[in-house]
Structure formats: C-alpha cells, structure tokens
Amino acid sequence: MRPEGDAVPAPFASALAGDQLASIHRVATSLKIDRGTTLFSEGEEARFVYLVDEGIFRVSRSGESGQRQILAFRVPGDVFGFSDRGDYANSADSVTPARVLRIPWSRLQQMMLEDAQLQFHLFEKMMRDFRQAQSRIVMLGQQNTCQRLATFLLDLMNIPDFYDARNSVLKLPINRFDLADFLGTAPESAARAFSKLESRGLVRRATSRSIRIVDPSGLRMVRRGPRREARAESLAAESV
C-alpha cells in the first residue's frame, strides 16, 4: 500500500505517444478559445471530444432549480466531452483563455477500433477520470467544508502551473463562486473555510486568487479529519 498518496494529477500521468498524437492531429482541429466560452452544453448532440492543450475548462451539470455542480476542472492533457448515448451529459466552458484539439467523435471511435494501443491510452485516461470522480464522491459524502477546501488546495499543489513550491505560493485558477460550486457549498462557506484555515495558521490569503501555503502537513491533517478513536481530544478543540 502506498503511504500517504496525494493523487498524481492527470496530465502528468500518461501523455499520448508522439505518433498517436500525430494521428489524432490529422483528424482534429486546433482551436483557440476565449475566456468564458462554452464548448458545449448538456443535452446537445455530442459530435466532438476535446483534448486540452492550454488553459482550464470547467465541466459542470446544472439542475432545473438553478443549482450548478462543477464536476471537474480540466487542464492540459485532459480529455472530455464523451457522449452519453449521443448527447453531452455535461456542459463545458473555458475558465481561462485556452487552446483545445477538437476531435470528431466518429473519427476518434474509428481510430480507437483500428489502434488498440491508442484506445488503451484513452481507456487509462478514462480510468483516471473515474478514480478522480470517485474521490470527489468521498469528499462530498464524508468531508466538511474545511476538509473539502484542504483537499482542493492539496490537489492543486500537485500541479506546477499553480503551485510555486519555492515560495509556497498557490495560484487559484477560479473565483469563489466556481470554487463553491465545485466544493458543493455556498460561496460564503468557502470564504469562511479560508478564514478558518488562515486562523489556524495553515494558509495565508494574499489576494483572493493567490494564497501562501504555510503548513502543508497541517493541511493534510485537516483533510484527514480528527482521529475519532484514540486521543480524540488532541484535535477535538475545534473552537479556536
């Protein structure tokens, strides 16, 4: 069993081999995307799959009552937009200026059947996304707001684009509204969670988009939650 195991972020785990990327390029279109662009919406006919080249995308699903759940953020190397019986099950918009490869699903499907190796890469990507989704189920089912925020911050810290480990400065790619919809909380609760982590000396807010990570292992403690059995009192003094 691996010991502590912060999840390895998807983009760095398995990139496509050069020739596979090349064959994808032959059927794909490279697109420059402005910030805030909607690539597709739930219920639309799913004709394209997208491979992120640069930038960040937000994959979300909305209930009829205005609630929105952000399912995942997609960063370079990630693939999204697979069809659910012909239609998109989710929506996707860019959070930053971005560049993607837009791949016709019919062509990709064809290529997957012809190139089992390529298909296997995509299978592994899908497996990773599945794992990631499962981790989010645990987060939403078991953790309180502070723990969720700690989890989110620790996940981001694995991505060099966002975390300057030298200065312990973490750049947040999203605003509080998106963060709240990702964590499944109200924006106010997200802000309060930041306050709490700050008052415990684990992080320090510089701007709303940039924080200093003061105590990473403290963050990991928060994520794990208080030990229920055996010396629960050591961390039970929540009321600081």
- What's the Rg (C-alpha) of the chain? 19
Contact status: 64 vs a second copy (CB under 8 A): yes
Residue 83: CB minimum distance to DNA, A: 31
The closest of 123, 218, 211 to 167, measured between CA atoms, is: 211
- Options 30, 134, 195, 210; binder of a second copy; rule CB under 8 A: 134
Residue 34: CB minimum distance to a second copy, A: 26
What is the rounded (10 degree) CA torsion for 180, 186, 188, 190? Answer: -40
Contact status: 205 vs DNA (CB under 7 A): yes
Binding map of a second copy across residues 171-190, x = CB under 8 A, - = no contact: ------------xx------
Q: Looking only at residues 75 through 94 of this chain, which bind a second copy when binding is defined by CB under 8 A? A: 82, 84-85, 87, 89-90
22/121 Cα distance (integer angstroms):
14
- Options 169, 186, 214, 221; binder of DNA; rule CB under 7 A: 186
Contact status: 130 vs DNA (CB under 7 A): no
Contact status: 17 vs a second copy (CB under 8 A): no
The closest of 181, 196, 82, 65 to 130, measured between CA atoms, is: 82
Contact status: 27 vs DNA (CB under 7 A): no
Q: Which stretch binds DNA (CB under 7 A): 15-23, 49-57, 159-167, 184-192?
A: 184-192
Contact status: 44 vs a second copy (CB under 8 A): yes
Strand blocks (E) in 184-236: 203-207, 210-213
State the angle between helix axes of 116-142 and 105-114 in degrees (0 to 180), rounded to the nearest 10: 120
> Of a second copy, DNA, none, which one sits near residue 165, judging by CB under 5 to 8 A according to partner kind?
none
- Options 26, 63, 231, 233; binder of a second copy; rule CB under 8 A: 63
The 3-class SS string of 101-169 reads EEEEHHHHHHHHHHCHHHHHHHHHHHHHHHHHHHHHHHHHHHCCHHHHHHHHHHHHCCCCCCEECCCCE
> Of a second copy, DNA, none, which one sits near residue 14, judging by CB under 5 to 8 A according to partner kind?
none
